[in-house]
Chain A
Amino acid sequence: MATIEMRSVSKKYGNVEVLRDIDLNIADGEFIVLVGPSGCGKSTLLRMVAGLEPITGGDFTIGGKLMNDVPPRDRDIAMVFQSYALYPHMTVGRNMGFSMEIRKTPKRERLGPVAGAAATLGLDKLLDRYPKALSGGQRQRVAMGRAIVRDPKAFLFDEPLSNLDAALRVEMRLEIARLHQRLSTTMIYVTHDQVEAMTLADRIVVLDAGRIQQVGTPLDLYERPANRFVATFIGSPNMNILDATAVEGGMQIGKSPVIAAPKGAVQLGIRPEHLGLAHQGAGDIDVTAQLVERLGSDTNIYTESPDLGSILLRVHGNVDVNAGDAIGLTLTRDKLHFFDTAGNSIARQS
């Protein structure tokens, strides 16, 4: 049993409150990803789970046991650091077996788990090397191996892939996904990378300014963001947010036809991929293309409308639109998001 529970957990540095009212239940075996802008407190939260930062308020339990005051070594969790934190004066093998060395496991009994983890990660030939003689990717694997050997109640990752190049990052991402499938241990993973978050997570926790904005499955967050912050934070490219004016029977954006909308909605959000391309005058709104990015599979069209400002449109495949063209946009009606004055989502009437 390794459920992790936080009840109104908070964290203060002196008088500065960096985390507030964190309520989170993590089920056994769940893969939780923490995302949020820089400085929002992701690392702090993770380090509180690890026991590296004291918790200044609320209750934190692992497997039902209160952990607020338990030192890291007794929490039975493993952590992969962004810097990897490999012990420079120990060989790869000793790095990986260090936790067992501390627990006075005899040398012979250490070999098995270390060899097992090394085999999984393709490190068999590197066990006698020192960390400084490894490449970035290999170091990353050793850091993971060190965690695996522990067979802990939970794995913590703090941006583990951010020091790797793009190709290695994809490879290691898959590796982590496989690892989770195989071990089905609870994992908490901090990242900046949308793709990592969407592909790895069972549930994503969006943090901003020390508060949880929303917790949900990746698709939940994509389809039903709780507020404007989550709506714009999740999804790439970012959702368009357009100011609307309330009219009889719904709302209007710019000179668009009346759109059915719930009461109190003052802004409309639509993802670039949910906008359709039309001829000038034939869509809901008219805009001018400013810049066209051709990605091959998709085309991003940055447009400008005199009353609505800039709007980004993403269409599948390659289309014949060039900078300066006057075009029309259609809004896919069942993909619209509505926000009230406070920026919270208002459910579509159905």
Chain B
Amino acid sequence: MSQPTTIANASGMPRTRFGRAYFRYAVEPWLYLSPAVLLICFVMLIPLFIGVSYSVQSINLLRPFDTGYIGLENFAELGDDKRFWTAMVNTFWWTFGSVTLQFLLGLGLAMLLTRPFHGKRIVQALVFLPWAVPTFLIALTWAWLLNPIIGPLPHWWAAMGILGEPYNILSNPETAMWGPIMANVWYGVPFFAITLLAALQSIPGELYEAAEIDGATPWQCFTKITLPFLGPMIAITVMLRAIWVANFADLIYVMTGGGPANSTQILSTYIFTTAFRKLDFGYASAIAVALLAVLFVYAALLLVIRAKLVKT
């Protein structure tokens, strides 16, 4: 028989550290991850840092000789920029309005779909379909629906007395924000319905049966079982979705471009129009950093609230 002990070195550590086993457990996962990590680094993270650095530079493709470090000038300009502050307020209303309506309608839909009924599969497919429609098409479609020349909505609303006469709500600064919000709700209800439906179906049926035996009414079942069970999941979904909606510029950009008179300009569309139309990358990046800061504060608040909730 051979003498395998000689293979171990003096310290008693076998040579596995750099052998196959070491490769398998320390190097191999990085091999699988590397394409993903490299792409994310080069296409997202490094540009992210560059983007932040742009915010303290003057970079405007229309004024190529005016490039350079300018410190916090962009941010000082932001402070005086009325459009920026309008956009900030609009971002809040856009996010709050969209997410609230998406959530409530989504919850209703999820509750309707929890119990089996005839034709449920096809109904489910149809009501979830808006999720799959490309966002630019959603924006165009709703813009057309709201256009009195071609769309029915203004006429119907006028007939119902909601509007004095059939006009395009997108061209009135008072009402314009409702247009993108409507489109966004149409698009976002399936998302909430799908996630909530999955959560609802994860509640064990015996719980409801036990509650019924204890004499609970359907309403009590909802408030005493469904809500507490879904609570944490609802909170997380709503919070994350709010961040996503705040960043979501496609609908507004296509439907109104931020107008009329900036009444629908939110921070993300303002970033895009500044970068795309004015080619002022420095200023656009400054707005983006501001948006990031807002989101950061929001996330920090959420964490604090969550910590409080968990404690009590």
A and B touch in the complex (CB under 8 A): yes
A contacts, CB < 8 Å to B: 7-8, 54-59, 61, 64-66, 68-71
User: Does B20 count as interface, using CB distance less than 8 angstroms?
Assistant: yes
Most buried by B among A7, A61, A64, A68: A68
Q: Give CA–CA (A140, B15) in the complex, Å.
A: 38
Among the listed stretches B4-12, B69-77, B231-239, B247-255, which one makes contact with chain A, having 4 or more residues with CB under 8 Å of it? B4-12
Would A59 and B24 be within 8 Å (CB), given that A69-B15, A69-B16 are in contact? no
Q: Which residues of B contact A (CB under 8 A)?
A: 1-2, 4-5, 7-8, 12-16, 19-22, 24-25
Partner of B14, one of A65, A68, A70, A71: A68
When the two chains form their complex, are residues A55 and B16 in contact, meaning their CB atoms are under 8 A apart?
Answer: yes
Per the bound structure, the CA–CA distance linking A56 and B2 in Å amounts to: 21
A57 touches B4 (CB 8 A): no
Residue from B7, B21, B22 within 8 A of A59 (CB atoms) = B7
Whether the pair B5, A59 counts as a contact (CB closer than 8 A) is yes
Cβ contact within 8 Å between B24 and A66: no
- Residues in B with CB closer than 8 Å to A55 are 14, 16, 21
Inter-chain contact B13/A57, CB cutoff 8 Å: yes
A196 to B4, CA, bound (A): 34
Cβ–Cβ contact B4 & A61, under 8 A: yes
> B20 — nearest CB in chain A belongs to which residue?
A69
User: Of A8, A56, A66, which contacts B4 at CB under 8 A?
Assistant: A66
Q: Which residues of B contact A66 (CB under 8 A)?
A: 2, 4, 7
Q: Are B2 and A58 interface neighbours, CB within 8 A?
A: no
- Distance A56 CA – B17 CA, assembled complex (angstroms): 8
| Chain B residue with the shortest CB-CB distance to A66 | B4
Least Cβ–Cβ distance between A290 and chain B, in angstroms: 36
> Could you tell me the distance between the alpha carbons of A173 and B21 in the complex, rounded to whole angstroms?
35
* A59 in contact with B8 given A64-B2, A68-B14 (CB within 8 Å): yes
CA distance A56 to B7 in the complex (A): 14
Smallest CB-CB separation from B2: which chain A residue?
A64
Verify A7–B24 contact, CB threshold 8 A.
no
21 pairs, A vs B, C-beta closer than 8 Å = A8-B12, A54-B16, A55-B14, A57-B12, A57-B13, A57-B14, A58-B8, A59-B14, A64-B2, A64-B4, A65-B4, A66-B4, A66-B7, A68-B14, A68-B16, A68-B19, A69-B14, A69-B16, A69-B19, A69-B20, A69-B21
Let me know if A56 and B16 touch, CB within 8 A: yes
Q: How far is the CB of A75 from chain B (nearest CB, A)?
A: 12
Chain A residues with CB under 8 A of B21: 54-55, 68-69
Residue of B nearest to A56 (CB): B16
The answer for the CA separation of A269 and B61 in the assembled complex, in Å, is 90
Q: Which has the most chain B C-beta neighbours within 10 Å: A55, A58, A64, A69?
A: A69
Q: CA A64 – CA B7 in complex, angstroms?
A: 13
Selected contact of A71 from candidates B4, B15, B16, B20, CB within 8 Å: B20
**Contact pick for A58, options B1, B14, B24, B25, CB 8 Å:** B14
Closest residue of chain B to A1 (Cβ to Cβ) is B1
Report B-chain residues with C-beta under 8 Å of the C-beta of A54.
16, 21-22, 24-25
Q: State in angstroms the CA–CA spacing of A132 and B110 once bound together.
A: 33
Bound CA–CA A69/B21 (angstroms)? 6
A58 partner residues in chain B, CB cutoff 8 A: 8, 12, 14
Q: How far is the CA of A61 from the CA of B24 in the complex (A)?
A: 20
Measured in the bound complex, the distance between the Cα atoms of B5 and A68 in whole Å is 11
Residues of B within 8 A of A8 (CB): 12
User: 10 closest A-B pairs (Cβ-Cβ)?
Assistant: A54-B21, A66-B4, A69-B19, A64-B1, A69-B20, A59-B4, A61-B4, A68-B14, A64-B2, A66-B7
Q: What residues on B are CB-neighbors of A70 within 8 Å?
A: 20
Q: How far is the CA of A327 from the CA of B159 in the complex (A)?
A: 97
Q: Which of chain A's residues has its CB closest to B25's CB?
A: A54
Report the nearest B residue to A9, measured CB to CB.
B14
Interface centre among A54, A57, A65, A71 (most CB of B within 10 A): A54
Q: Which of B4, B5, B15 has the most CB of A within 10 A?
A: B4
Q: Could you tell me the distance between the alpha carbons of A54 and B26 in the complex, rounded to whole angstroms? A: 11
Chain A residues within 8 Å of B19, by CB? 68-69
Q: How far is the CA of A56 from the CA of B11 in the complex (A)?
A: 13
Please name all residues of chain B whose beta carbon is closer than 8 Å to the beta carbon of A69 when the two chains form the complex.
Answer: 14-16, 19-21
CB neighbours (8 Å) of A56 from chain B are 16
Contact of B5 (CB < 8 Å), options: A7, A57, A64: A7
CB nearest to A54 among chain B residues: B21
